[in-house]
A and B are shown apart, each in its own frame.
Chain A
Amino acid sequence: MIRVLLPAHLRTLAGVSGEVMLEVGGAVTQRSVLDALEAKYPMLCGTIREHGTMRRRAFLRFFACGEDLSHGAPEALLPEAVGKGVEPFLVIAAVAGG
């Protein structure tokens, strides 16, 4: 199982608390994880990746295993620890000042 941690406002939208657990068939990539996430929680479509272009929304980032994977290719393999469920795939919202 792949572990995904969403930012608070997306956990509210999806109606979940804590980490989300996903089954991902085949290669574990940014794209396959997000495809599986949106398939399980369709209310998240368009909120992490833009409709149409499927680009990462500018103020969200993808972290895992202490690395910023935001600019990685969508089809690049994620770290092995993510694929094995040892480490979560983190969707992080940019900090906002006040």
Chain B
Amino acid sequence: MDYALDIGAVTRNLDKLWEGLFVTLQLTIAANVIGVIAGFLLALIVLSPYKVLSWLATLFVEFFRCAPAIVQIVWFFYCVPMLFNVWLDPITMGVMALGLNLTAFNAEAYRASIQAVPKEHLDAGIALGLSPVQRVRHIVQPQALRASVPVLLTNGIGTFQQSALVAIVGVADLMYQGKLVATETYRPIETFTVVALVYLAISLPVAQIVGWIERRHGTA
């Protein structure tokens, strides 16, 4: 190949990439805060005895899990301002779109681990005379939360990677800045490789932690 690598194209534009990474991390953290909290509440609604509520919540979860994330994000950016007549800054929009998507995935994780709490434990709770609230608070919640940690982390890192999609709708995240630098300098190989390595350097340690937790609990 007659292409001399020139890493200077990247090092000269590090400030742009830093800015982008900062936006990416902001999006990831904010979406995860939404996803971890709203996901749990949504799981409770899915499992609630109120059929209509439970059915609506399930529909929400399935829709966000079954439609491509890029469709959701493009939909959100184009349609929410038109439908609801609200104009928010792009980062807030990005956080909401990614947060809703993560909420659905986390709700599913919580639901699975809530249902995995052995029935005998609940029976034991009844036998001990605990009230329904006490049973949820002291038997279901601690076990379910602990069991869902690895999946929550995996989903969280998934959102970190999905956040690159907001570049398509013009949010200046790491991916967006990377594309800008690649186009401006005509150095796609260097730029995209460095950007990919930055994503990898953040995802990989978290994936290792997840593997370590799973091995410790003997679930893998």
- Interaction A to B: no
Give B residues with C-beta under 8 Å from A: none
